[in-house]
Amino acid sequence: MNDDLSQTPRVCPTCGSRLAPDATRCVVCGTDLTHNGGESGPAVPSSRVPEITLSLPVAMLALAVFVGLGAVMVFFALRSTGRVVEPTPTSSPTPTSTATLTPTPMTPTPTATPLPSPTPLTYVVTTGDTCIGIAARYSVSVQSIVLLNNLDCNSLVVGSSLLIPHPTPTNTPPPTATLSPAEATEAACEKVTYKVQDGDTLSGIAAYYGVPMEAIRSYNGLPSETVYTGLTLVIPLCERPPTPGPTPTPTSPPPYPAPNLLLPADGAPFGAEAETITLQWASVGTLRENEAYAVTVEDVTAGTARKVTSYVTDTKFIVPDSLRPDDGSVHLYRWFVVTVRQTGNDEEGNPVWEAAGATSAPRGFTWSGSAGGGTPGP
């Protein structure tokens, strides 16, 4: 019986570990088992700490939550004491692109190469040819053919060769800007300015300059005769009444520019079938009642000496049939236009005209007539 008890294993009173029957110290917790004379009593079971088993992911999540809560608590604790300095947001520098200069290739300046002079044409004279007819056919002047060939037009030889120069284009001058009659009169009017002084009246100013008071009001747009100190007035001296005397001198309008001739083109040929030839030019402005255009047309063919001057208010003129060639040959004509003004009448009651501007540059044309004269039938 005692042998059985002596073989009973010892139990550590501290951690409850089972030990050998003759153990003097617990190999688990290190408790001295000899304090009660080396005898051990019956095994007394001891309480154990409850165990909690967690998986690794759950443990990591719990640790993260714990750390996060701790950080939040520390942040609010420091903030309440004013020791936390929030960072000032700074703007990120924006990269600025640097433009790269691309060299522009220099374009070579073209050098004007002079064009060679055109070679004259060669024409063989046939029966019935005249210098005027050949010049009209090639739109050149008779003088240019004579000078180039050292020629006598009265002795053309059939079968001989003539050099014909190329026609020189005539540059039509651009139309000159002209003033209307009202603008011309306004520009010709002499004017002075006057600043109203203390005590001035419109009637006194008009009497001082000798200008009607209504003319001063009209020029300055005054609603009444009242003026105030410091007002600047334009005094139209051209509105003064004519000075009494034997020879009052009226203010003449400025001269008109030379009319710009339009049609026909310089050197244009007209055949015998042409019933009428109309001359046209550009207007120089609105003409007054005593003004007109003087159109002069003359036959410059040798031995004719025919000339017509007509006065018209339109900008066109029909060449009269009396100038039509009646000898079956080609005639050369010249025409020009000038603006004129009637200054009175002669003893027979005919108007007397004088030039009121510059004369246009002359133009020429040729006209072929039919033998026997008269206007050709349809």
| CATH assignment at residue 232 | 3.10.350.10
Is there a single domain that holds both residue 270 and residue 331? yes
Is pLDDT at 219 greater than 90 in this prediction?
Answer: no
Is there a single domain that holds both residue 160 and residue 229? no
Asked if the structure places residue 50 within a domain, the reply is: no
Taking the C-alpha atoms of residue 37 and residue 24, their distance in angstroms, rounded to an integer, is 10
Number of domains in the chain: 4
Q: What is the pLDDT of residues 265-306, one digit of tens each?
A: 988 888 888 778 899 999 888 888 889 999 999 988 867 778
| Domain limit, last residue, from 164, 199, 228 | 164
Is there a single domain that holds both residue 272 and residue 343? yes
Asked if the structure places residue 176 within a domain, the reply is: no
Is there a single domain that holds both residue 234 and residue 309? no
Is there a single domain that holds both residue 359 and residue 285? yes
Asked if the structure places residue 173 within a domain, the reply is: no
Asked if the structure places residue 106 within a domain, the reply is: no
Taking the C-alpha atoms of residue 359 and residue 337, their distance in angstroms, rounded to an integer, is 6
Asked if the structure places residue 194 within a domain, the reply is: yes
Q: What is the pTM of this model?
A: 0.35
Task: Tell me, letter by letter, the H, E, C secondary structure of 151-197.
Answer: CCHHHCCCCCEEEECCCCCCCCCCCCCCCCHHHHHHHHCCEEEEECC
| Domain limit, last residue, from 239, 269, 297 | 239
Domain that holds residue 12: 1-42
CB proximity list for 171: less than 8 A, separation 6 or greater = none
| CATH assignment at residue 291 | 2.60.40
Asked if the structure places residue 72 within a domain, the reply is: no
Q: What is the pLDDT of residues 144-168, one digit of tens each?
A: 888 888 888 877 888 888 888 877 6
Asked if the structure places residue 247 within a domain, the reply is: no
| 305 or 124: which leads in pLDDT | 124
Asked if the structure places residue 282 within a domain, the reply is: yes
Is pLDDT at 2 greater than 60 in this prediction?
Answer: no
